[in-house]
Amino acid sequence: MAIPTVMGTEIEYGIIVKNDPDFDPISSCVLLVNAYREDPEGRILWDYDQENPLADARGFQVDGEKYTPNQQENIARNKTLINGARYYVDHAHPEYSSPEVTNARDLVIHEKAGERIVEVSRREANVLLPEGATMLLHKNNSDQKGNSYGCHENYLMDRRTSFKRIVESLLPFFATRQIYCGSGKVGSENRNQPCDFQISQRADFFETEVALDTMVKRPIINTRDEPHADREKYRRLHMIVGDSNMSEYTIYLRNGVTAIILSMIEDGAIDRDLSLINPVRAIKEVSHDPSLSREMQLDNGKRMTAIEIQNEFLDMALTYAAKNPLDAVSVDVLDKWQHVMQRLADNPMDLAREIDWVAKKHILDGFIERKGLEWDDARVKMLDLQYHDTRPDKGLYYMLERQGRVERICSDEEINAAAHRPPDDTRAYFRGECLRRYPGEVFGVNWDSISFAVGEEPVRRIMMNEPLKGSRAYVEELLDKSESASELLANMG
């Protein structure tokens, strides 16, 4: 039986400061992250001791040095938030890592809360910029100069599940999933075949099937073995293949469908061989074909389109659901997946209310026709970028949302609440509540631990190796009777 679903996302945002000839992305990211001030003292560290980014899921340790910043740099680059999330500087990008959640609907709520948080900090940071300078953030994956930044998805999995089996099932799934998860992009990059418009922002940047690196020779399947949980029981599948999405509906499918497929892999319910001869070439070919008509060569000699391959996964998922009752959110995900696959087969452009790449193409097609432009016109590329603008009054996606032209999954009230409140049903609740109740006594935080510095006592670390413990049901009574961190530690024995 597959383990319960636990998932989260890490979104790297594009950053630029207009009218600043001395723009430096790293210092601008530091300014941005520190402009969001939940912790007035600004003393809480991110616990790098608990991380090991050089461990490979294939069973070995990669050569290299683990980077650990000094205390001053650590504090300047990291913010752990009372909603259980992490907001920090990752290389030259601000990154928002959502708290752990148990279903795709909560994932949408908390990823969207991240958009609200980065926008609040952007406005605060703008006040500190030189006169005339303006900081802009985009929830996209490419700067159109050959550089890509990621949307990383994380899923808890049973460590007993063969990694080889995971890879075999996910390669054809990820090569074709973009037909309902892509954000759309004008043109091509990274020395790929020229095109006017493609489905995915990320597809051009994948160069190998399986590897550890996320920035050079990017793999479709990332092999980082950093579970942030009990290593004997779990692995964290760290997926870097997806686009950063604006549409709530697209996010819902991106994570919800993938979670169902992973449960099926654990339960041995992927019973068809859909292996592609060349998945790296296929992911690019699918992206460059908005008509969705191109066929790909399978190892078994068959030729299938992306729609046909995804329909095979859908058919297996329906069979799985008939034998293994799903929770209400997963049932809804399955229904929406069926709806989208039918529309993709009939006419993809009918999905402008649901799917990012279709919504964007609909806007761009109309703009090009009205203005009599070509696809390589700079104004078309600017409109592409504006779709991802995080400013609610400027971003094209937010314009569609205001006009009621996109399908919603959750409400603004739920999103705004999630910016300041952790999910109830994972350890993120304990993390967030400790930060809210005892901020002056929290010393360091990681996904699977929290450390307290109480008086003159040595720093004490509480391990949180079980992602579903530390939930409100587990710890609310304990927290309510602990007025300080010292009382909490005493009450925990």
Catalytic site residue 90?
yes
Contact 437, 481 (CB under 8 A): no
Q: What is the pLDDT of residue 50?
A: 73
Weakest mean pLDDT among 108-122, 216-230, 324-338, 357-371: 216-230
As a whole number, mean pLDDT of residues 120-127 equals 97
Q: Is the pLDDT of residue 456 over 70?
A: yes
3-state secondary structure of 165: helix
Residue 484 CA to residue 455 CA, distance in Å, equals 12
Q: Is the pLDDT of residue 41 over 70?
A: no
pTM over 0.95: yes
Q: What is the pLDDT of residue 61?
A: 74
Token pair belonging to 35: 């402009």
Q: Are strands 295-297 and 185-186 parallel, antiparallel or unpaired?
A: unpaired
Active-site residue, selected from the candidate residues 90, 106, 389, 425:
90
Q: How confident is the model at residue 67 (pLDDT cuts 50, 70, 90)?
A: confident
Tell the burial category of 214 from Cβ atoms under 10 Å away from its Cβ (0-12, 13-18, 19+): middle
3-state secondary structure of 156: strand
Token pair belonging to 359: 């919504």
Q: What percent of the chain has pLDDT over 90?
A: 89
Q: How confident is the model at residue 42 (pLDDT cuts 50, 70, 90)?
A: low
* Dihedral, CA of residue 169, residue 174, residue 179 and residue 184, to nearest 10: 180
Q: What is the pLDDT of residue 53?
A: 76
Q: Is the pLDDT of residue 54 over 90?
A: no
Domain extents in the chain: 7-38+81-417
- Domain 7-38+81-417 carries which CATH code? 3.30.590
Q: What is the pLDDT of residue 212?
A: 83
Distances, alpha carbon 351 to alpha carbons 112, 150, 295, in Å:
21, 25, 22
